[in-house]
Amino acid sequence: MKIGITCYPTYGGSGVIATELGIELAKLGHEVHFISYAIPQRLSRFVQNIFFHEVEISNYPLFEHQLYGLALTSKMVDVAKYEGLDLIHVHYAIPHATSAYLASRILERENKELKFITTLHGTDITLAGLEPSFLPLVKFSIEQSNGVTAVSRFLREKTLTNYGIEKEIRVINNFVDTEKFKRKVDCVYREKIASNSEKILVHISNFRPIKRVTDAIRILELVRKEIPAKLLLAGDGPDRSECERLARQLGLQKEVIFLGKQDGLPQILSAADVFLMPSQSESFGLSALEAMACEAPVISSSVGGLPELIVHNETGYIAEIGDINRMAKYAIDLLTNEKKHKLFARNARKRAVKFFDKSRIVPQYLDYYNEILNSSL
Ligand code: GMT
């Protein structure tokens, strides 16, 4: 198959899933054409069968706001036409689904069919898509997609109810390469950052307000009242300065370690005794899954798709949003009970391998592509 993939190429979870999916499809012999404004972050090396098409954006002075969605449409038309794409798979609805819709209409005028599948990832539905400036367009673009997938049951239900859409949405969960994401015994972070008696909490995100990273710092403060511990923070974003300020204010500047944006996530996750995800909203929680694959029990808020991933009292714990006292209590419980911690760590890895390994999820996308290509929709 010749497949076009459009995604945000940066550190966000949707871009990661799109890129890893493209790589796996290419390994299976499919030809994959990424269409975006920059080469995806996780595509830093040559991979056979993968091609990248950069969307050039005009900076003509009259266009005060960049017209990326339109430039993307034209690039999709070109790539579909000249590379002979069978379909386009867009990740994150805004503006990708709308661009794909326009591209398919343009090609229709030339008697060429281009089907497109939209994968909904999270804030495209729960946050940005609900803004009045986007809502009608997001609803329309989802309805016009030949196929739609959502990364959790939660996100499917939200889409159907929030947008009043009556359309079959296939749930295809996030996935992880459990061979790459596995606990490393010689973890440099553990050696360099903490002494033997210190426990390590880890959080990885893009530091947006929705991630509630400051909760992770407050949880560390409570945990440290009982046991010596440090917090490793990887990633960067708008809330980073606020987090640094809070760590200083709580006198934890040495105990909260900011790593910034990082590529070697399995190494960082291998240092984790516990992974924290106190998000306000989370449609699936890809980094929690990556942590589980590295044998880190996850303590998270009970929002969105997280309860579909984390089994409370088995692979980790779930608490109400903002209930840092409970989350800290759960962390202390796990960190002071070696037997329980080992069991949860093992359960977490087992669950990641059994239900969310790439070998289980990637074929679901391929089956869905074939279904859509063979349907009359
Ligand atoms: O929040 C992020 O990390 C970025 C965002 C995105 O769309 O790029 O992530 C969303 O997609 C991920 C991959 O499907 C999900 O695992 C995340 O839960 C989801 N984030 C939110 O819902 C806030």
Can you tell me which atom of ligand 1 is nearest the CA of 206? 3
Enumerate the β-bridge partners of residue 91: 119
CATH T-level fold of 2-175+358-373: Rossmann fold (3.40.50)
Give the right CATH number for 188-356 from 3.30.70.1140, 3.30.870.10, 3.40.50.2000, 3.30.930.10.
3.40.50.2000
User: To which residue do tokens 């049951």 refer?
Assistant: 153
285 lines ligand 1 (CB under 6 A): yes
pLDDT confidence bin for 28, thresholds 50/70/90? very high
24 lines ligand 1 (CB under 6 A): no
Is residue 376's pLDDT more than 90? no
Q: Do domains 2-175+358-373 and 188-356 have the same CATH topology?
A: yes
**Comparing C-alpha atoms, which of 42, 93, 103, 37 is closest to residue 67?**
37
**Quick check: CB of 14 below 6 Å from ligand 1?**
yes
> Which residue's CA is the closest to the ligand 1 atom numbered 9?
13
Ligand 1 pocket, 284 CB below 6 A? yes
Q: What is the mean pLDDT of residues 13-19?
A: 96
Q: How confident is the model at residue 4 (pLDDT cuts 50, 70, 90)?
A: very high
Neighbours of 174 (CB within 10 A): 24
The structural domains of the chain, with segments of one domain joined by +, span: 2-175+358-373, 188-356
Cα-Cα-Cα-Cα dihedral sign, residues 351, 355, 356, 360: positive
Burial 78-108 (b: 16+ CB within 10 A, else e): ebbeeeebbbbbbbbbbbbbbbbbbbbebbe
Whole-model pTM: value is 0.96
Give the whole-angstrom CA distance, residue 189 versus residue 191: 5
Give yes or no for residue 11 having a pLDDT over 80. no
160-212 confidence digits (pLDDT tens) = 999 999 999 999 999 999 999 999 988 888 888 888 789 999 999 999 999 99
* pLDDT of 322 over the 90 cut: yes
Whether residue 59 is predicted with pLDDT greater than 90 in this model: the reply is no
